[in-house]
A and B are shown apart, each in its own frame.
Chain A
Amino acid sequence: MTSLIHPSDTSTQQRARTYRDHQRPLWQRVLFSRDVAVWAALVVVYLYASATVPFFDRPITITYLLLDVAPILLIALPMTLVIITGEIDLSVASTVALASVSFGVLYDKGAPIVLAAVAALLVGVVCGAFNGFLVTVVGLPSLAVTIGTLALYRGIAVGLLGTTAITDFPDGWTDWARGRIGESDIPSIMIPFAVLAIAFIILLHFTAFGRGVYAIGLSEGAARFSGIRVERTKLILFVLAGAVSALAGIYYTLRYGSARGDNANGMELQVIAAVLLGGVSIFGGRGALPGVIAGVLLIGAIGSALRLADQTADVINIVTGLLLVVSVVGSSVLGWISSKRRRRGAPEPQHDSTGSGTTGSGQTEPGNTLTDTDGPVGERERDDR
């Protein structure tokens, strides 16, 4: 070791140790990830439903499926980040409703539609900022805060319009919201969604901000001591959740041509269910956006297939509910089994147990030989909680 601070010396210095970057090759890490498992489940459900449910394989099914899940897809993006930091936002569907009503009322009162849309987005930003303020500045738990604002925002929305609805919107806008891209079967709303999805994927997976989001979810203390601005990060995420919910609210209004206080009732649960199904841990720190997108589509596809098979909404709810419980319980059970096996000393303990495909086949690679008997395993400090 000649110099520790100055990097120029390291090129000539002989390395004491060499490291492999990863325990498993890239294809294994990708293939055995939770994201791929959810996508695979989506493909299986799609193929099975196409083969067994009448009319499911028609292109129109995909069009309507995407139109229906578009608001959930949109809101799931910021919700994923919020849940990865270990927080939750239950007020998103109420924000959808409040933005929808604000949009409708302003347009109804004669405001230009663009202005009404911008104002609705601002309403969403304010809703999110209020949640974020209560969580980060006042220091209240987000679960309690957003249960409160769930009722508050919904209450304001219903109060503004009562039981009436505003249904008169410009045809150009409503047609676009129901329309498709050119001659394809893909709805137009998928364009803004794709743009947002790419933006959120970059934000979460390819920026310093995103690294901070994961760190906060895994250890808030360590994040703070590393110079990550925990409060600011969470505030930004709540504002994003509010803004995107408002965008979904505008879309929802135009798609159904109706601004009502009870729009998107209960949608927060669908969003959270899809996010968790997509592999995001409710305890924070784990999950990725590709899996979440597949999770939303999976829930949508199952619902759509059951509807086409003439099942009632109750059955659809029961099936999606069960699916969620199985997926959450399933990953917990898998984690428990692998930690149990680790404790009993069956497979090599360094491997992470998050991937759903890696049920501990004891993958040991040639490189993992005797060189390191002194290191990681012998004295992991008390892993026996």
Chain B
Amino acid sequence: MATAAPGTVALELRDVSKTFGQVVALSSGSLTVTTGSIHALVGENGAGKSTMVKIIAGLYRPDGGTYALFGEAVDFRTTAEAKDAGIAVIYQEPTLFPDLSVTENIFMGRQPRGRLGRIDRKAMDTEARALFARLGVPIDPERPADGLSIADQQIIEIAKAISLDARVLIMDEPTAALSGVEVERLMTIARALRDEGRALVFISHRFDEVFSLCDTITVMRDGAYVSTDRIADVTVDDIVRRLVGRDVDDLYPKQEAEIGEVVLEISGLTRAGLFHDVDLQVRRGEIVGLAGLVGAGRSEIVQAAFGVDPYDAGTVKVNGKKVPPNDPAAAIRLGIALVPEDRRKHGLVLDSTITRNITMAIRRRLSRAGLLSSGAEVTTARDWASRLEVKTTTLDTLAGTLSGGNQQKVVLAKWLSTRPDVLIVDEPTRGIDVGTKAEVHRLLSELAGEGMAVLMISSELPEVLGMADRVVVVHEGRITAELNREDATPEAVMYAATNTQGASA
């Protein structure tokens, strides 16, 4: 049990630095977290948050500066040492053993022993149940970890941290992939842990969560400490200004565009158990927002329309031409582009270069007499990388080493290079920083202004409301509302997203 009185300094980093070769990842990071507090750590991607977390977790050793835990200077060589000292990190996507039970995952490597050195399953099970009861989460400790939602997997990581009696918990963007209800549950647990006197660090790009959960906020920019304030003393605008070092006047720079004829027409699209009778039209110059809860079937609909997933009934047309099912190559040829939700798994080949990634979908068009030259690839890639302002020095950098925002720019470059008529973007700004987010929004708006039909899936309501000309709401695989920009209020969208009755088109 954490015993320190609330307000004791638990974690203190001062002017910590870390360089990789000539690249400075962290120039002077400072962070002071007290017990009984939830401390927000915010910064754009590339600001050095993750590097600092990795130093705290013992994954990196700092090149300079001081690092103290409860007043004692520490120098962790391994993550195990940090764990023993009471530090736990909860990542955005936990890594559990899928085939083992929840209990086994919690006690991995330190199972209680009974007589003859056998694992004491009963003791393990009792403690696991007690942990979940304390967290107030009904997870069956005997079920396998495989198939648990990301939210539940995070809870298991938290349970593990508590059973290790971690005094400092760091949550690295835990809510990025969670739905509203799951976020609420996580926040309740976080508050309970705070009240037990633990020190929590909460990293998030979502300011509404930061402001409702945390009591203190530290801002980082360009690898350096900027400020620490009590949350009550600052506003979102203050924080955003400090994050980017300038005013972000408009996060949602929606331009007026001339809306033309129908380009994408989905009618009666059905796949048993996932979505039913989906009718959807997107016109030239229009941005249509596809809203709904996580798991409502939005990604499944667009993936079926694009051809990577099958469907049972219905048709998809682009410019009046039928798109054959199960054939992404044909969909691309007819002018559809899909920026997928899972950037790292579906959007990019992480172990391939920026050049190869950008030219992947147009490799046949770049061929001359069937032959493809590196020269043609590099020329095209250089052109698109510079239009989207991808931050890198060389084009043969592996895509996996770029920051999230830059990876997304590479994916966008890849799809814009196909010169699509319809651009489908699935969670285009997930996990990317405020500055790049605004860039992506401006880009989408410009594309629509130039006559592209844009279909945008987003779980961030402000994004949908800020960017879309029309909002289509999906609930459990059915379209429950279609709202024009002026009618699309947060209430109207959430009502349609959660409740099928009463919502009219």
Contacts and interface: CB of A to CB of B under 8 A. Distances in A.
Contacts of A212: 363
A362 B60 CA distance: 18
Nearest to B307: A227
Given A208-B363, A381-B404, A375 B345 contact: no
A343 B404 contact: no
Contact of A23 (B46, B396, B451): B396
Interface string B383-395: 1011101111111
Contact of B393 (A215, A221, A367): A367
Given A1-B446, A206-B372, A378 B223 contact: yes
B503 interface: no
B350 to A, nearest CB: 7
Contacts of B22: 348, 364, 368-370
B403 A380 contact: yes
A378 B308 contact: no
A375 B54 contact: no
Contacts of A68: none
A15 B416 CA distance: 17
A211 B360 CA distance: 8
Interface centre among B51, B371, B397, B416, by most chain A C-beta atoms within 10 angstroms, is B397
Contacts of B395: 19-22
Interface residues of A, number: 67
Contacts of B24: 370, 373
A30 B492 CA distance: 60
A222 interface: yes
B389 A16 contact: yes
Interface centre among A215, A228, A347, A375, by most chain B C-beta atoms within 10 angstroms, is A375
A204 to B, nearest CB: 11
A225 to B, nearest CB: 4
A30 B349 CA distance: 23
A372 interface: yes
Given A208-B364, A211-B360, A222-B345, A17 B390 contact: yes
Interface string A289-316: 0000000000000000000000000000
A15 B345 CA distance: 30
Interface string B213-254: 000000000110000000000000000000000000000000
A4 B349 contact: no
B96 to A, nearest CB: 13
Nearest to A375: B391
B20 A345 contact: yes
B406 A376 contact: yes
A227 B332 contact: yes
A198 to B, nearest CB: 12
Nearest to A206: B371
Contacts of B14: none
A223 interface: yes
Contacts of B425: none
A339 to B, nearest CB: 12
Interface centre among B21, B355, B392, by most chain A C-beta atoms within 10 angstroms, is B21
Nearest to B364: A208
A382 B91 contact: yes
Interface string B159-184: 00000000000001000000000000
A175 interface: no
A351 to B, nearest CB: 9
Contacts of B18: 345
A344 to B, nearest CB: 7
Contacts of B416: 4-5
Contacts of B25: 373, 377-378
B372 A377 contact: no
A224 B328 contact: yes
B401 A376 contact: yes
Interface string A343-385: 1110111101000000000101001111111111111111111
B50 A379 contact: yes
Nearest to B339: A225
B331 to A, nearest CB: 7
A371 B367 CA distance: 34
Nearest to B439: A1
A164 interface: no
B478 interface: no
B302 to A, nearest CB: 11
B402 A375 contact: yes
Contacts of B20: 342, 345, 347-349, 377
Closest 5 CB pairs of A and B: A348-B21, A375-B391, A227-B329, A208-B363, A378-B25
Interface of A: 1, 3-7, 10, 15-23, 202, 206-208, 210-212, 214-215, 218-219, 221-229, 285, 342-345, 347-350, 352, 362, 364, 367-385
15 contacts: A4-B443, A5-B416, A10-B387, A16-B386, A16-B389, A23-B397, A211-B363, A219-B352, A221-B342, A342-B20, A376-B391, A378-B51, A380-B403, A382-B172, A383-B400
Given A5-B416, A374-B391, A376-B406, 6 more contacts: A210-B372, A218-B350, A223-B360, A373-B222, A376-B401, A378-B403
